């Protein structure tokens, strides 16, 4: 298929969705949503792998900062929702140490897609194409307003224009 921003946007949406699991893992445990050590590990890893993929490390880190911010947006939103409506709170608590390897795999896939979409992301048409891809992803992933907002935040640093 021709190059498009769909695979990248779909992966971004999957990473937004897995924030639900992270939120559930932390809810009611006292563990903070912010984990600066884990974040720095992600940024260091991404920056180290960027050059061999033809990516600017600073640009790659900027993209992943947006992914992390989007995850926090979802986590904060869900924690607020669950505090207000305890019946909607998750009944079981997933293990964060089992979720993070899945996030690591998504990060690797995202890095590869960033490399694969370099030309599209520097094109003038990128913002419009991205908007369309995000709308499609909202529908495909059945995103509510919170997740749609997070997807927009996550894709904010995608176009290099």
Ligand X SMILES: O=C(O)C(=O)C[C@]1(C(=O)O)C=C[C@@H](O)C=C1
Q: Which of residues 22-81 bind ligand X (CB under 6 A)?
A: 22, 33-35, 38-39, 42, 67-68, 71-72
Q: Nearest Cα to 24, choosing from 94, 100, 99?
A: 94
From the centroid of its chain, how far is CA 50? 17
What is the smallest separation between the CB atom of 94 and ligand X, expressed in angstroms? Answer: 12
Number of residues that bind ligand X (CB under 6 A): 13
What is the smallest separation between the CB atom of 90 and ligand X, expressed in angstroms? Answer: 15
**Residue (70 or 120) nearer to ligand X, CB:** 70
DSSP string over 42-81: HHHHHHHHTGGGT--HHHHHHHHHHHHHHHHHHHHHHHHH
- Do 133 and 113 touch, CB atoms closer than 8 A? no
Contact pattern from residue 99 through residue 128 relative to ligand X, giving x for each residue in contact according to CB under 6 A and a dash for the rest: -x--x-------------------------
What is the smallest separation between the CB atom of 88 and ligand X, expressed in angstroms? Answer: 20
Q: Nearest Cα to 71, choosing from 106, 121, 29?
A: 106
Which residues here bind ligand X, judged by CB under 6 A? 22, 33-35, 38-39, 42, 67-68, 71-72, 100, 103
């Amino acid at each position: 298929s021709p190059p498009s921003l769909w695979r990248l946007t779909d992966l971004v949406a999957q990473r937004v969705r897995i924030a639900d699991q992270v939120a559930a893992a932390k809810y009611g445990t006292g563990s903070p949503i912010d984990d600066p050590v884990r974040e720095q590990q992600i940024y260091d890893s991404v920056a180290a792998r960027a050059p061999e993929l033809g990516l600017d490390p600073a640009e790659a880190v900027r993209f992943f900062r947006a992914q992390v911010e989007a995850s926090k947006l979802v986590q904060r939103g869900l924690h607020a929702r669950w505090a207000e409506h305890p019946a909607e709170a998750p009944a079981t608590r997933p293990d964060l140490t089992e979720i993070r390897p899945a996030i690591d795999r998504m990060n690797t896939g995202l890095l590869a897609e960033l490399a694969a979409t370099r030309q599209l992301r520097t094109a003038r048409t990128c913002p419009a194409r991205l908007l369309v891809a995000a709308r499609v992803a909202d529908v495909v992933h059945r995103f509510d307003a919170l997740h749609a907002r997070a997807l927009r935040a996550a894709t904010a640093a995608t176009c290099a224009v």
